[in-house]
Amino acid sequence: MSETKNIMDYETVALDENGPAVVILDQTRLPGRTELIRLTTAQQIWEAIYLLKVRGAPAIGVAAAFGMYVLSEGIETEDYDVFLKEFQKQKEYLDSARPTAVNLSWALKRMEQVVLSNRDKSVEQLRSLLRREAIAIKEEDIRVCRAIGEYGLTLVQPGDGILTHCNAGQLATSKYGTATAPIYLGQEKGYHFRVFADETRPLLQGARLTAYELHSAGVDVTLICDNMSAMVMKNGWVNAVFVGCDRVAANGDTANKIGTSVVAAVAKRYNVPVYICAPTSTIDLETATGAEIHIEQRPAEEVTEMWYRERMAPEGVKVFNPAFDVTDHDLIAGIVTEYGIAREPYTESLREIFRKKQEAQASEL
């Protein structure tokens, strides 16, 4: 890493210009080391997603989309049916890397649709259309995050205290982040937010990533342990909570990083509004309620020994390590999307958001 380059100058996920490869910033190394890695095989891409080298719902979607383009370059056939079969096999494999963030299957379906709706094209043409679609998914992500930032900014005042959990920042997206987008846009306007970043056990995305990127960007950020949010809220230091999400159900129940529902329950106690920053790609109207969301379980070692110089739990102890929890919709003050802010009742307001999206897309054609 060049000494002068700021972490904010790096791309979370990119396509290698020198040949078919996905280039990611290895987030498991941050903040200590800034390493870019090239992914060229399905197994490398799968592992990068599973091991959280690339993570955050939108970034996973972009990585999977670039991944499918890269893998399509390696499918050696001129026959459409053979190409489709192999493409779908690789797609299913990548889709199995992480179950909760809907953006993964959303982006993979979009890529598959390119192949399915261009049966008349040559394999060479299909590859070039896939490349174009993956780039479009990334560019959309930037526009969507900025729009979420603009809507989110209407919910806070200059000087406000904002608490966030996990990392729904630039490192989790292509730019701006979702939960951090109002913070970065506020900074552009000279607002002086005071941000509290939960460290986010067990994988420390808040400490390693959110505190790092906000601090590097010059935002006033204070790192707290997860069990301190009640105290900072009780002290009156927090005016709003902004968090990201991995899947929003049709009724507004929201899966996000484990611990989010605790923050929301505490925020309710202290009358602090909780806003979920959600690209429509993370809203899953086919999932009726949070009870239907598949919550990823992760290895016990993440809790017992990872990050510690020596193991910090007795050998053989039972460990429960869900990566996400569901915040009930009645704890959520609003869901901030790129098409506006949805409020209770979410079953209606989220459908209205999708109606706006359809209208916007129709007028673009």
Residue 259 in contact with ligand MRU, rule: CB under 6 A: no
Using CB under 6 A as the binding criterion, the count of chain residues that bind ligand MRU stands at 19
Minimum distance of ligand MRU from residue 184's CB (angstroms)? 13
Binds ligand MRU by CB under 6 A, chosen from 39, 156, 162, 168: 168
Query: Which tokens in the block code for residue 348?
Result: 């209606």
Nearer to ligand MRU, 25 or 84 (CB): 25
Residue 244 in contact with ligand MRU, rule: CB under 6 A: yes
CA–chain centroid gap for 195, Å, is: 19
* CA angle 80–83–85, rounded 5-degree value: 110
Helix/strand/coil (H/E/C) assignment for every residue in the chain: CCCCCCHHHCCCEEECCCCCCEEEECCCCCCCCCCEEEECCHHHHHHHHHCCCCCCHHHHHHHHHHHHHHHHHCCCCCCHHHHHHHHHHHHHHHHCCCCCCHHHHHHHHHHHHHHHCCCCCCHHHHHHHHHHHHHHHHHHHHHHHHHHHHHHHCCCCCCCEEEECCCCCHHHCCCCCCCCHHHHHHHHCCCCCEEEEECCCCCCHHHHHHHHHHHHCCCEEEEECHHHHHHHHHCCCCCEEEECCCEEECCCCEEEECCHHHHHHHHHHCCCCEEEECCHHHEECCCCCHHHCCCCECCCHHHHCCCCCCCCCCCCCCCCCECEEEECHHHCCEEEECCEEECCCHHHHHHHHHHHHHHHHHHHC
Q: Has 284 been annotated as catalytic?
A: no
Q: Given 95, 141, 160, 246, which residue is catalytic? A: 246
CB-hemisphere CA count at 13 Å for 59?
30
Residue 195 in contact with ligand MRU, rule: CB under 6 A: no
Closest chain position to ligand MRU (CB): 244
Binds ligand MRU by CB under 6 A, chosen from 7, 126, 130, 166: 166
Residue 178 in contact with ligand MRU, rule: CB under 6 A: yes
Binds ligand MRU by CB under 6 A, chosen from 12, 90, 170, 173: 173
Binding string, residues 2-41; x marks residues near ligand MRU by CB under 6 A:
----------------------------------------
Scanning 80-88, 111-119, 240-248, 287-295 for contacts with ligand MRU by CB under 6 A, the matching segment is 240-248
By the 8 A CB rule, do 252 and 344 touch?
yes
Residue 199 in contact with ligand MRU, rule: CB under 6 A: no
11 has which bridge partners? none
Residue 247 in contact with ligand MRU, rule: CB under 6 A: no
Nearer to ligand MRU, 177 or 182 (CB): 177
Binding string, residues 77-96; x marks residues near ligand MRU by CB under 6 A:
--------------------
* Pairwise CA distance, residues 115 & 123, whole Å: 9
Scanning 83-91, 171-179, 314-322, 328-336 for contacts with ligand MRU by CB under 6 A, the matching segment is 171-179
Binding string, residues 298-337; x marks residues near ligand MRU by CB under 6 A:
-------------------------x--------------
Scanning 104-112, 239-247, 286-294, 350-358 for contacts with ligand MRU by CB under 6 A, the matching segment is 239-247
Residue 134 in contact with ligand MRU, rule: CB under 6 A: no
Per the omega criterion (within 30 degrees of 0), is the bond before 202 cis?
yes
Binds ligand MRU by CB under 6 A, chosen from 105, 205, 229, 281: 205
Q: Which amino acid is at 172?
A: A
Residue 149 in contact with ligand MRU, rule: CB under 6 A: no
Binds ligand MRU by CB under 6 A, chosen from 48, 65, 101, 123: 101
Residue 57 in contact with ligand MRU, rule: CB under 6 A: yes
Residues forming the site for ligand MRU (CB under 6 A):
52, 55-58, 101, 166, 168, 172-173, 177-178, 205, 244-246, 256-257, 323
Q: Which residues carry out catalysis?
A: 246
